[in-house]
Amino acid sequence: MAGLGDRSDENDILTFALKERERRQSSPVLVPGDEVRRRLNNPELLGMVHLIDPKLGFGVRSIRLWVNFYGNDEGNLGWKVLGHRHLIDAVIHVLRGRGHSIIDGARYDWEAGDFLCVPTYAWHRHVSTGEEAFKYIAGTTTPFSMALGVSVHEDERYPEYWVFAQKSEEARTTLIPGGAEVPELPGSQSKAAFRGDQALQAHLYEHEVAFAADEEQRRRVGRVLVKSSDVNFGHTRMGRVAYIVDPRLGFNTKVMSTLLAEVPPGHHSGAHRHLYEEVNYVLAGEGYSIVEDRRYEWQSGDALCIPVFSWHQHFSTGAETARFLVHTTRPAMENLGYQVTQQGETADY
């Protein structure tokens, strides 16, 4: 019978770190992009390709990556999805096609090469209007929300807060629940009656009640769209990098960050490791990566799942510059105070 001081309990505790290390090391790292490449240039091949997801046996617990291939199936109206929202950070990179998205009642036009940050819990709908099928790659933090037990997804058919959208005529025309409304900000203007020594406690509680509305305000002033022409690369110890979606750049994301990284032919990135999860999608080029003590060859269309706190470095061996789309959950770890990044060798370009 297990109890306090039981030998097997002690052993479990002592071996947890070893088991955790084994778990990370046994997670697949390289994801062949054969199916992605097969569908990319064929307008007939539609549907989703899941690349990295805990459900597929990957050791990730906070992030996932997939490519979506959609056709225009509503004639001139283009392809539409239901207005919906979810408690996740999501970043879409448009590979093919053009269209627009309605997010919190505002319209954002996009085309191939652009990035769209769908803010957490924002009502949104994507509309494809181009001749070409809409194809995009998405990184989301659904596994993170599921692990916390707060993975809420709603759509127009079953919205818990649909009544919120029916407050005004204008709200109905957006077809996005709540899309035309900006909620009042109680926050510091809370009318709660404070008195005597209860003031601090009452203030703390009213702050808690106001949080969701305050957060919606922050969300609505946050950035959403990044046009490909606005992408700025700069030099870092890891090589040439362009941060795309990041809370430090005015996006209201709390869990995920997205960037592009480039390695010119014949060069290598810096080496580093960090206490957050990272998934990479190879947009262009070919080469290999060293992850801890193993080597993984990759080409355009492949994906990499970097285990937490594993040293990694990329080598570009092809004729064109290697380009990576990188999603990480660094902001989540920073918000918790758990983030550690260690730099090894510096990039040689």
Smallest distance, Å, CB 306 to Fe ion? Answer: 6
User: Is 210 or 298 the residue whose CB approaches Fe ion more closely?
Assistant: 298
Contact letters (x/-) for Fe ion, 264-283, by CB under 5 A? --------------x-----
**Closest Cα partner for 110 from 127, 122, 132, 85?**
127
Smallest distance, Å, CB 204 to Fe ion? Answer: 34
3-state secondary structure of 227: coil
What number of H helices and E strands is found in the chain?
7, 24
User: Is residue 275 within 8 Å of residue 309, measured between CB atoms?
Assistant: yes
| Distance from the first to the final alpha carbon of the chain | 61
User: Is 145 or 210 the residue whose CB approaches Fe ion more closely?
Assistant: 145
| Dihedral (Cα; 51, 55, 61, 66), 10-degree rounding | 20
User: Is 311 or 349 the residue whose CB approaches Fe ion more closely?
Assistant: 311
User: Is 158 or 205 the residue whose CB approaches Fe ion more closely?
Assistant: 158
**Interstrand relation of 322-328 and 278-284 (parallel, antiparallel or unpaired):** antiparallel
- C-alpha 200/C-alpha 214 separation (Å) is 19
User: Is 114 or 278 the residue whose CB approaches Fe ion more closely?
Assistant: 278
Kindly state the number of chain residues that form the binding site for Fe ion, as judged by CB under 5 A. 1
Smallest distance, Å, CB 171 to Fe ion? Answer: 20
| Total number of residues shown for the chain | 349
Smallest distance, Å, CB 138 to Fe ion? Answer: 8
Contact letters (x/-) for Fe ion, 276-315, by CB under 5 A? --x-------------------------------------
Smallest distance, Å, CB 323 to Fe ion? Answer: 15
**Closest Cα partner for 133 from 62, 223, 40?**
40
Smallest distance, Å, CB 346 to Fe ion? Answer: 14
User: Is 91 or 210 the residue whose CB approaches Fe ion more closely?
Assistant: 91
Q: Interface with Fe ion by CB under 5 A: which residues? A: 278
